[in-house]
Amino acid sequence: MAAVSSLQGIEVKIISTKPIDGQKTGTSGLRKKTNIFMGEHYLANWVQSLFDSLGNEVKGKALGLGGDGRYFNKEAVQTILKLAAGAGVKKVYVGMNAIMATPAMSALIRGRKLYGGLIMSASHNPGGPKEDWGIKFNYSSGEPAPERITDAIYGYTTKISELKMADIPETDLSKIGTHSYGDFEVEVIDPVEDYLALLEEVFDFGMLRKFITRPDFSLTFDALHAVTGAYAGPILVDKLGASASAVRNGVPLEDFGGGHPDPNLTYAHELVELQWSDKATDFGAASDGDGDRNMILGNAFFITPSDSVAIIAANAQEAIPYFKTGLKGVARSMPTSEALDRVAEKEGLKCFEVPTGWKFFGNLMDAGLCSVCGEESFGTGADHVREKDGLWAVLAWLSILAYRNKDIAVGEKKVTVEDIAMEHWAKYGRNFFSRFDYEGVESDAANSMVEHLRAVQADSKPGTKFGDYELKTADEFSYTDPVDGSVASKQGLRFIFTDGSRIIFRLSGTGSSGATVRLYIEQYSADSSKHSQDAQAALAEIIKIALDISQLAKFTGREKPTVIT
Ligand code: G6P
Ligand code: ZN
pLDDT bracket for residue 4 (50, 70, 90): low
User: Which whole number is the average pLDDT over 197-222?
Assistant: 97
Burial class of residue 463 (count of CB atoms within 10 Å of its CB; 0-12, 13-18, 19+): exposed
pLDDT bracket for residue 146 (50, 70, 90): confident
Residue of 377, 441, 477, 493 with the most ligand 1 atoms within 8 Å of its CB, for mutation: 377
* DSSP symbol at 58: G
User: Which whole number is the average pLDDT over 384-412?
Assistant: 97
* 510, pLDDT greater than 80: no
pLDDT bracket for residue 512 (50, 70, 90): low
Which atom of ligand 1 is the closest one to the Cα of 388? 8
Q: What percent of the chain has pLDDT over 70?
A: 98
* 86, pLDDT greater than 80: yes
> For 207, phi and psi rounded to 5 degrees?
-65, -40
Low-confidence winner among 112-126, 201-215, 383-397, 505-519 (lowest mean pLDDT): 505-519
Residue 355 makes CB contacts below 8 A (sequence gap 6+) with 333, 334, 477, 479, 488, 491, 492
- The Cα-based distances of 297 to 27, 276, 283, 287, 470 in angstroms read 29, 10, 6, 12, 34
User: Which whole number is the average pLDDT over 42-46?
Assistant: 97
User: Which whole number is the average pLDDT over 355-375?
Assistant: 94
- The Cα-based distances of 65 to 81, 138, 172, 343 in angstroms read 9, 10, 14, 38
* DSSP symbol at 239: I
pLDDT bracket for residue 511 (50, 70, 90): low
* 192, pLDDT greater than 90: yes
* One domain, residues 435 and 519: yes
* 152, pLDDT greater than 90: yes
* One domain, residues 249 and 137: no
- Whole-angstrom distance, CA of residue 449 vs CA of residue 517: 9
* DSSP symbol at 288: -
**CA of 333 relative to ligand 1 center, distance in Å:** 10
* 302, pLDDT greater than 70: yes
Question: Which one of the ligands is nearest to 294 CA?
Answer: 2
pLDDT of residue 131: 92
* One domain, residues 203 and 177: no
* 498, pLDDT greater than 70: yes
Domain with residue 146: its CATH number is 3.40.120.10
* One domain, residues 37 and 164: yes
* 88, pLDDT greater than 60: yes
* One domain, residues 358 and 444: no
pLDDT of residue 521: 97
pLDDT bracket for residue 136 (50, 70, 90): very high
* One domain, residues 329 and 455: no
pLDDT of residue 5: 63
* One domain, residues 207 and 93: no
pLDDT of residue 414: 95
Per residue in 247-270, pLDDT (tens digit) is 999 999 999 999 899 999 989 999
- Whole-angstrom distance, CA of residue 418 vs CA of residue 435: 21
* One domain, residues 44 and 183: yes
Nearest CA to ligand 1 atom 16: 508
**Residue where a domain terminates, one of 168, 191, 214:** 191
ipTM: 0.95
User: Which whole number is the average pLDDT over 345-357?
Assistant: 95
Nearest CA to ligand 1 atom 4: 357
Cβ contact 535:409 at 8 Å:
no
Nearest CA to ligand 1 atom 11: 510
How many domains does the chain fold into?
Answer: 3
* One domain, residues 445 and 424: no
Residue of 125, 287, 336, 375 with the most ligand 1 atoms within 8 Å of its CB, for mutation: 375
* DSSP symbol at 145: P
pLDDT bracket for residue 351 (50, 70, 90): very high
User: Which whole number is the average pLDDT over 350-358?
Assistant: 94
Residue of 260, 306, 358, 437 with the most ligand 1 atoms within 8 Å of its CB, for mutation: 358
* 147, pLDDT greater than 90: no
Average pLDDT, the chain: 94
Question: Nearest Cα to 312, choosing from 332, 291, 287, 292?
Answer: 332
* One domain, residues 27 and 130: yes
* 416, pLDDT greater than 80: yes
pLDDT of residue 514: 79
**Residue where a domain terminates, one of 144, 176, 191:** 191
Residues with CB under 6 A from ligand 1: 28, 356-358, 375, 377, 379, 508-510, 518
Instruction: Tell me the three state secondary structure of residue 520.
Output: strand
Nearest CA to ligand 1 atom 2: 357
User: Which whole number is the average pLDDT over 343-357?
Assistant: 95
* One domain, residues 123 and 270: no
**Residue where a domain terminates, one of 160, 191, 222:** 191
**CA of 285 relative to ligand 2 center, distance in Å:** 15
Structural domain boundaries, residue 466: 430-564
* 1, pLDDT greater than 70: no
* One domain, residues 368 and 238: yes
Residues labelled catalytic = 123
Q: What percent of the chain has pLDDT over 90?
A: 84
